[in-house]
Amino acid sequence: MTTQRTQASTLEPVGLTRAGTTAARAPKARAANDEPNGAAVTPILTHARGQKRINLAAAVAQRAVQAEQALDLTFAELCRSYLAAHYDGADMQLRKWIDLLGERSAWDITTAEIAEPLRAMIDNGYAKATVNRNASQIGSVYKWAVKVRAIGPKGFRSPTLDLPRWDEPIRVVELTDLQLRRLVRATLTIKDRRFSVLVRLLAETGARRGEIVERTWADFDLDAGVVTVLATKTGKPRQLFFSQATAQLMARVWPKRAPAEMPFESRRAVGAPINFKKHWQKITAEVGLPNFRMHDLRHHRAKQMIQAGAAISVAAQALGHSSLVLHRRYGHLESSALQTVVRNSWGIEL
């Protein structure tokens, strides 16, 4: 009986067993791939009985070494890798930057090296909004490298974070219900039916394009008319809502829906969302809205929500937007809605 207890106690500390006898000292845990020549110990340790243990000190040290060993990439290599995973038209903006900074180390480029060409663009007639979009696109490349690929050096700070932002006029979107209806119905004759679904989703949810096209079917609930977005621009997860008419169209376009599949995946770049830029240009020209942008559907939804009586704070939460930005753009609409509410509450003449 004592012998059996001793054999079963190899993981207990030295001392008395339950039977009161001295237990055998537990064998020392050995590191997986442990090398006698002093090689680094791996974080996962394997006990003599086959149980795994983690050496936290070794695990933390390993992460520190990996963080310091940034992937050696030129700016051109980093951008081309980004473009391979993002077939969204970003190549049009990044091409000139690859020509300028392509051979430089991606991690050595300074804020000044980006700021000066941006100022040159302003001097040569580029709109301030276009210049700001260029800066944002380079920032997206670095954000992807650090947050998604985790290939930047330890403590790396994107050179775009300290760039000045040029003030640009607030874009005012004027779209009537009739124009929106014509726009949505015109998409029904595009051969790729996914385009029609995308326009309906953007018009109803007020979402950013990326928040829709980067989703998998696991994020959609057609019965509830909800799409869940965990990773957003503001870093806060949220839900987007769409109509049952749109859900029914989605069920027709995609009779089979595997959870891991992207409904809006590009057929030219596996794993990347489709762009639909040419389809959009064709449709907006046909309905007499050549300057109307896909992102303007988001502005229109914000305007409609506030005109319907939603407070800016509520609209901002629904859209995943900054309350301050919405107030700058639509504050006058909220004031008008509040005035109507107050007037209607008077009821009787005093």
The angle, 0 to 180 degrees and rounded to 10, between the axes of the packed helices 323-346 and 312-319 is 140
Q: Average pLDDT, whole number, for the chain?
A: 80
Handedness of CA 235, 241, 245, 251 (dihedral sign): positive
Mean pLDDT computed over 274-284: 93
Q: List, for residues 208-240, the tens digit of each pLDDT value.
A: 898 999 999 999 999 999 999 886 665 667 888
Which residue carries 């520190």 as its tokens? 64
Sheet with 226-229: strands ordered across: 220-221, 226-229, 238-241
pLDDT value at 329 more than 90: no
Smallest CA-to-CA distance from 276 within 182, 199, 181 is with 199
Mean pLDDT computed over 48-60: 76
Higher pLDDT, 192 or 269: 192
pLDDT above 90: percentage of residues in the chain: 45
pLDDT value at 125 more than 90: yes
Sheet with 30-31: strands ordered across: 30-31, 44-46, 52-54
In the prediction, which pLDDT does 167 show?
87
Higher pLDDT, 287 or 235: 287
Mean pLDDT computed over 149-166: 91
pLDDT above 70: percentage of residues in the chain: 70
Lowest-confidence region among 89-98, 183-192, 311-320: 311-320
Mean pLDDT computed over 65-92: 80
Q: List, for residues 65-77, the tens digit of each pLDDT value.
A: 655 566 899 999 9
Smallest CA-to-CA distance from 175 within 274, 82, 307, 81 is with 307
In the prediction, which pLDDT does 27 show?
44
Burial grade of 289 (CB within 10 A; 0-12, 13-18, 19 or more): middle
In the prediction, which pLDDT does 69 show?
64
In the prediction, which pLDDT does 53 show?
80
Q: List, for residues 5-18, the tens digit of each pLDDT value.
A: 444 433 444 333 44
In the prediction, which pLDDT does 19 show?
41
3-class SS letters over 226-277: EEEECCCCCCCCEEEECCHHHHHHHHHHCCCCCCCCCCCECCCCCCCECCCH
Q: List, for residues 300-316, the tens digit of each pLDDT value.
A: 888 888 777 777 676 76
Lowest-confidence region among 68-72, 121-125, 165-169, 248-252: 68-72
In the prediction, which pLDDT does 346 show?
67
3-class SS letters over 101-155: HCCCECCCCCHHHHHHHHHHHHHCCCCHHHHHHHHHHHHHHHHHHHHHCCCCCCC
Smallest CA-to-CA distance from 43 within 26, 11, 66 is with 66
Lowest-confidence region among 164-168, 236-240, 298-302, 328-332: 328-332
In the prediction, which pLDDT does 280 show?
96
pLDDT value at 347 more than 80: no
End-to-end CA distance of the chain: 97
Residue 329 backbone phi and psi in degrees, to 5: -85, -40
In the prediction, which pLDDT does 235 show?
62
pLDDT value at 90 more than 70: yes
